[in-house]
Copies of this chain bind each other. A is one copy, B any other.
Amino acid sequence: MQIEDLKPLLAPGNRKIVLLVMDGLGGLPMEPGGKTELETAVTPNMNKLAAEGILGQMRPISTGITPGSGPAHLSLFGIDPMSAEVGRGVLEAFGVDVPVNKGDIAARGNFCTLDSNGVIVDRCAGRISSKDAAPICEKLKAIKLPGIEVEIKHVKEFRFVVVLRGAGLSPDLDDTDPERIGTAPLKVHAQNGAADKAANLFNQWIEEAKKIIKDEPKANGITLRGFATDPGLPSYKELYNLRAACVALYPMYRGAARLVGMDLIKPQGESPSDEFKAVADRWNDYDFFYIHIKQTDSFGEDGDFAGKVNVIECVDAALPSLLALNPDVLIITGDHSTPAKLRGHSWHPVPYLLWAPATVRPDLETEFGERSCMRGGMGIFTALDNMPLALAHALRLNKFGA
């Protein structure tokens, strides 16, 4: 059964669903015989939920496939990323409130540092601060292209988005980041004739930009990636009849949520309890809350096992404020695994905890961890099952057939 097949089954309801995503949650032991990050963390609240609920292992995309955050989130939201690929450019643009309509082409831009020969010496422009990078983006707004509207907006640190709007543009363009230092950024290359116009325009824009930033100490070069147009995804309202909200600090996750029609709620601070407070403030306005915790992934990417453990413990410590809202369904999981041991995303399935006091069939597990999830009652399942499970446990799906 496909997600679209749920539509005729949707039932009205007032039960609330919370999807708490700790980015890159899944981990690995650093040493043989050791524990994972989640198993190491002291998580009395999650363990209580595990004992009352049911555990399983979620496969983000397909066995053995390491997902990016974009496709992994789409899966969690019930959108098959194999049939609806969403470019990074669009995710970033949506995350910073830059509209991308059908036919517009968005790209994610990175500032980089070039030497006097135009060769990349730092792909992230010395991780230039947002304070320094934002004014450079302002200067780039001066660039005009013939017959085309250009919008550029700073995202965070060395990252920005640029969107071209006009007739006859195609997103079939290759990334310009050579993905290594010691070589010059590539030209924007069209994958087919239909994309020649867009390639020429982006190349023109880059040439103009290079003139403007040529004297910047760090950010004197540019790479573009993830060229994409609006994928026209269905919304949570259409798909699930849910009023859905997103609480996330990072633009890309806000972008992914907005792509499926979620409202964005801005927390007052950056801690897990600030994010939970933001949910509490708007509890009556929505049926579904997606909460995103970024730092589990960041520490995983840095290979910082203890840092990741600490973030998980902070989330656990803040959980009582979320539970005090009495959600009907609470799902705690990740979008993918980011084991500190591997310093990056991985293909390992993601620990999944489903708690729903009125409807859950508990298993025998009493702790939230990778190995308890391996024994959990839900087995191994695809992330595309996440939304059907959430809706079912919120009693928001009618019976199929007589």
Contacts and interface: CB of A to CB of B under 8 A. Distances in A.
A370 interface: yes
Given A52-B32, A64-B392, A361 B348 contact: yes
Contacts of A225: 402
Contacts of A379: 57, 374, 379-380
Nearest to A228: B402
A377 interface: yes
Highest count of chain B CB atoms <10 Å: which of A357, A376, A381, A401: A401
B402 A64 contact: no
A324 to B, nearest CB: 18
Number of copies of chain A assembled together: 2
A402 B66 contact: no
Contacts of A392: 64-66, 346-347
Contacts of A402: 68-70, 87-88, 91, 225-226
A351 to B, nearest CB: 10
Interface stretch (A14-22, A190-198, A383-391): A383-391
Interface in A328-380: 339, 342, 344-348, 357, 359-364, 370-371, 374-380
18 contacts: A9-B65, A26-B361, A36-B361, A57-B379, A62-B388, A63-B388, A63-B389, A64-B388, A64-B391, A65-B392, A65-B397, A66-B392, A66-B397, A68-B399, A69-B402, A85-B401, A342-B359, A344-B399
